[in-house]
Amino acid sequence: MAEPRKKLVMVGNGMAGVRALEHLLKLAPEAYEITIFGAEPHPNYNRIMLSSVLVGGADLKEIVLNDWDWYEENRIKLHAGHTVTRIDTKKRKVYSREGAEAEYDVLLLATGSQPFMLPLPGADKEGVIAFRDIRDCEIMLETSQTYKNAVVIGGGLLGLEAARGLLHLGMNVSVVHINAYLMERQLDEAASKMLQAELERQGMKFLLRKQSETIYGKKRVKGLRFTDGTDVEADLIVMAVGIRPNVELARSAGLEVNRGIVVNDYLETSEPGIYAVGECAEHRGIAYGLVAPLYEQGAVLAKRLAGVETGGYEGSVTSTKLKVSGVDVFSAGRYDEPPGTRTLRYQDEIDGVYKKIVLRDDKLVGAVLFGDTSDGASLFSIMKKGESIKGREKELLLGFSAGAAPASPTSRLEAMADDEIICGCNGVSKATIAEAIQSKGCSTVGEIKACTKASGSCGGCKPLVEGLLKIYGGDAVGEPVKEGICGCTTLSRDEIVAEIKRMELKNVKEVMNVLGWNNPEGCSKCRPSLNYYLGMLWPTEYKDEKESRFTNERYHANIQKDGTYSVVPRIYGGVTSPSELKKIAEVAEKFDVPMVKFTGGQRLDLLGVKKEDLPKMWEELDMPSGHAYGKALRTVKTCVGNTFCRFGTQDSIGMGIRLEKEFERLNTPAKVKLAVSGCPRNCAEATIKDFGVVAIDGGWELHVGGNGGVHVRATDLLCVVKTEDEVVEWGGAFLQYYRENAQWNERTSVWVERVGLDSIKAALEQQEERKALYGRIRTALDHTTDPWKQIASDRELRKNFETLTPEPAVRN
């Protein structure tokens, strides 16, 4: 009989802790029953990439490292949005502010760090934030829509990343720094001045040697005043002045704490059974803030917890390789020229290159590179080995011997140590990539990314990965990577759809097998897209694969941060009745729903529903699903139109209800929202919807491609029609053309910009083609039923509902 699994509780859901668990699950997948408490309402994400979100290089979904499905697949109970406030070391239990508790045999503290906020008068005003998490990112994005002047306090790496993001968002940005030059912890003064000059060319302003005194304004910040009496206007102030290990929980539990939570070489704290890893941990007097050391700690900890023999963690020699606003920067060791050292420099202000190495006793003890960081890895390797470089000093500085040709990138990679980190975002070493190529058969960058995560985040290490592929792949190297719809294939959306049509492929497994998928099981990106494409192409024959749908779509409800669900029945056009309201109220009371809320789409949302109550709740409601969770028609928002309003020119309520009943249950590449306004005053906000209808005297304006989300986009005018039948026909033809031609997960706002309004008009302007498109959408709709009716009538599915284990899942 197998031994019962020990209970492992982890406080913190960040990069270091989850990486440790990933190692542990590979070494001992059945050893622990794992529970995670995460203070943020998000799955594990790459905090390093927040600056890329601000500058538009990635969206929030792209920086997720482990999506919601990963937790379910590994049977991990995640309390997202829960802050642990107490540890009872005698009862071996933890308690969250939100009311959850969990017993542990092993407790892992991965509480990370928190931003240091200057205790200035006025620091509590609206518009004063840190730059540490997704919410801070969202505030910056929201603020840039309304305000113009931003001030960043702190001229270190984090501050400059925040400043560059705000500059990209169109704000006027001033960086305030107490020191005489920027990034003094990573750069010497010469390199810093070169960086400042480049950032000023990009539009940043700098206020150096400035000490902040007070933040002024009434409710919202208006500006920042300095101790010298000067000030600067500010609608937003971002403090980026440093981080502190988050140790209060550990301290209150009686653990030994200095700057961080004190741990030994096996990451054990002063309390038996409690470990700490990441930015919160202090090892041999050092609390690390870089990702590579934290991943090294996690690897040792995982082996320890799995019972695998391992040496202890002995600390890390750190280096920093960064890209600051498009400029490559590298530093390692002592670059500040302490007594007893010698320094060699090379500076080229025309090409923007600066190099400095610091020597002591013929050994390399520090380096700074600016503009050209290609030698950084080899310099760092030499520094860690502590080898003598006597006679090679100039060669190391220049990258080649005097009178000789510069070393090639390949020779530099070959000389790099095996344990050198290639991908800093994901902590992937040269040896790991070499193993993926030589032992696991990876022959393209895409395959290496799928196997190791190298180049899967910021992409800055992609040239190094390509170089290692050439070195270790030899004749087995595949064609240069062609980006497909995911890492499982190099085929694009159009190529896949064309092959499905040509070969009449009829199920997901068949498509992946015939088209040569690298991963025979697919992934959370390609399985849902293939399921959609097959359903779109073969509406009368294809049987929807529930296992290829997102978790929310399979449960027909939106998962919330605490693991409960949100249920939204359909209310056509926002119009309901006393009997319908009474039914919803009775169901809410029966199932003890914590909150009933009106949504922005003129519906009622039942929040906090337990998963096991979902089937019975839908049966009791006996109402169609509002598809608030799906890539489908969500809502049709309406104003009262000429039914009641003195300005109304048409029956917008009737038109909205007709459109909603016409296209409900429609599966689409991404969520779709409609609106109908009864006059040009546009109270239903039809001009920021995917398909918007605005009534005018004697007809209707049809608008397409709007979006009211993070990236607001006003619609384009498609055409003007006279009758309600024409509205339905044009609307159906537009939606079907979108269904047949858009990428999976591509909103109409993005699609319209990509293909151009003129091409859409050309496809719809001929009545014969328009009617054909409308006919195809009707065929698709005629072969769908409300999804909840299927569950209500399927006893076996209802019986097993609690044990459904979804594969691909993200929040929609």
In the annotated binding site for [4Fe-4S] cluster, the residues are 639, 645, 679, 683
DSSP state of 351: T
Amino acid at 281: A
First to last CA, the chain: 42
Amino acid at 509: K
- The CA distance from 422 to 666, in Å, is 45
Question: Chain centroid to CA 378: how far?
Answer: 32
DSSP strands (E only) in 104-168: 106-109, 113-115, 128-130, 149-153
DSSP state of 661: H
Going by C-alpha positions, the residue among 398, 392, 320 that lies closest to residue 355 is: 398
Alpha helical stretches, state H, 453-525: 462-473, 493-503, 508-514
Contact 785, 665 (CB under 8 A): yes
φ, ψ for residue 696 (rounded to 5)?
-130, 170
DSSP strands (E only) in 166-229: 172-177, 205-208, 212-217, 221-226
Contact 494, 745 (CB under 8 A): no
Q: Alpha carbon of 676 to those of 262, 368, 574, 590, 708: distances in Å?
A: 61, 60, 11, 35, 15
Going by C-alpha positions, the residue among 433, 445, 435 that lies closest to residue 480 is: 445
Most distant CA pair in the chain: distance in Å? 90
**Other CB atoms within 10 A of residue 757 CB:** 15
Contact 194, 352 (CB under 8 A): yes
Going by C-alpha positions, the residue among 20, 221, 212, 202 that lies closest to residue 120 is: 212
φ, ψ for residue 673 (rounded to 5)?
-125, 140
What lies within 8 Å, CB to CB, of 340 at 6+ separation is 360
For residue 178, what are its two tokens? 């107490």
Is 492 strand, coil or helix? Answer: coil
Is 19 strand, coil or helix? Answer: helix
Question: Chain centroid to CA 606: how far?
Answer: 27
- The CA distance from 15 to 294, in Å, is 9
Question: Chain centroid to CA 510: how far?
Answer: 31
Q: Which residues are annotated binding-site positions?
A: 639, 645, 679, 683
152: β partners: 175, 238
- The CA distance from 562 to 80, in Å, is 6
- The CA distance from 262 to 276, in Å, is 8
**Other CB atoms within 10 A of residue 803 CB:** 6
What lies within 8 Å, CB to CB, of 515 at 6+ separation is 489, 491, 496, 499, 505
Contact 152, 181 (CB under 8 A): no
Quote the radius of gyration of the chain (alpha carbons, Å): 29
Which residue has tokens 């309201």? 581
Going by C-alpha positions, the residue among 102, 108, 105 that lies closest to residue 77 is: 102
- The CA distance from 665 to 250, in Å, is 51
Going by C-alpha positions, the residue among 20, 4, 6, 26 that lies closest to residue 108 is: 20
